[in-house]
């Protein structure tokens, strides 16, 4: 069951960022999440 869930999640992630623009948005959101975490730890 875990394997199927991982495969589905990976497929959705790949489908969501199938363009350069999508990849850029994903990277930006990841950076924003890191910034929020850093701000909370101050």
Q: What is the pLDDT of residue 36?
A: 92
Q: What is the pLDDT of residue 16?
A: 64
For residue 18, give the DSSP letter.
-
Q: What is the pLDDT of residue 20?
A: 66
Q: Rounded to whole angstroms, how far apart are CA atoms 4 and 8?
A: 6
Domains of the chain by residue range: 2-40
Model confidence, pTM? 0.49
Q: Both tokens of residue 27? A: 């990277």
Summarised one tens digit per residue, pLDDT across range 1-42 is 677 888 888 877 777 656 667 778 888 999 999 999 989 987
């Amino acid at each position: 069951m875990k394997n199927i869930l991982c495969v589905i999640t990976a497929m959705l992630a790949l489908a969501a960022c199938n363009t350069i623009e999508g990849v850029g948005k994903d990277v930006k959101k990841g950076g924003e999440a890191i910034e929020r975490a850093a701000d909370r730890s101050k």
